[in-house]
Amino acid sequence: MTDLILKYLSAKKEIKIPGFGSFYQKDSPAYYDEKSTALLPPGKELFFEVDFNLKDENFTQFVSQQKNLSLSESQSKIVELTNYWRSTLENKNELDIPKFGTFYVNDTNLVFKGKRFQTENPDNFGLEEVNLTELKNNPKDFNSLKTSDYKKSNNKLWWLFFIIPTAIIVYYATQSPELIFGKKSFQNLNKIKMNKIVKKDSLKKIPFKIDSISPKNTTNAQK
């Protein structure tokens, strides 16, 4: 019967169970589950609103069609199910419904913690659950995805190591060559006058120049 409820929910988004209450689903954002150490993608989460006096025939008709039963037979199946749920809550104050979630009584309130389930909604971009523990214990797959990117990044890094120092050297070589090559030993050579030789014709001064370099009764439990 729970499978039929889920099937109905997948098409209608909400289901009213006569004599028990209404289950409905809401969008649930991605979040980190500490118990399973997994990052869960966006999906759906079940919520519940209690109403033991609820009367509705939509689900009864659905069961009749799916199981090829009469309406009275379908109604009997549903009453049998809800009586079991209610008696379990009265006796144990807790009820776990597989694939749905868990009910428990807190003082006089009935609390329901619904399960999450993934959907094929295109808005989720096909995201899947990521188990961080497995990723930590098996880093090979993760590393293999990054190998090519690492190599590309590494090549770019080596280029930076080569270009930056070269640019610095060129800059200082053009602007302040003495920081690299030291002071010129003969920087004032062109200012030195030549001594005259005592001859009839005196020699002209010869100048010397060195050029420089160029980044909301039912309370739905919260996570």
The domains of the chain are located at 2-130, 139-180
Task: Give the lowest-confidence range in 59-63, 80-84, 203-207.
Answer: 203-207
What angle (nearest 5°) sits at the alpha carbon of residue 48, between those of residues 44 and 49?
Answer: 145
- pTM of the complete model: 0.54
Residues 181 and 188: their CA atoms lie apart, in Å, by 17
Ramachandran region of residue 126, left (φ > 0), alpha (ψ -120 to 50) or beta? left
Task: Give the lowest-confidence range in 1-10, 13-22, 72-81, 158-167.
Answer: 158-167
What pLDDT is recorded for position 143?
53
What pLDDT is recorded for position 171?
64
Q: Taking 90 as the threshold, does the pLDDT of residue 164 lie above it?
A: no
Task: Give the lowest-confidence range in 43-47, 81-85, 147-151, 159-163.
Answer: 147-151
Average pLDDT, integer, range 38-47: 82
- Residue 13 contacts residue 47 (beta carbons within 8 Å): no
Higher confidence at residue 64 or residue 27? 64
Task: Strand 116-117: give its sheet, edge to edge.
Answer: 14-17, 21-28, 43-50, 116-117
CA proximity to 101, closest of 116, 92, 114, 89: 114
Confidence of residue 14 (pLDDT cuts 50, 70, 90): very high
What pLDDT is recorded for position 12?
87
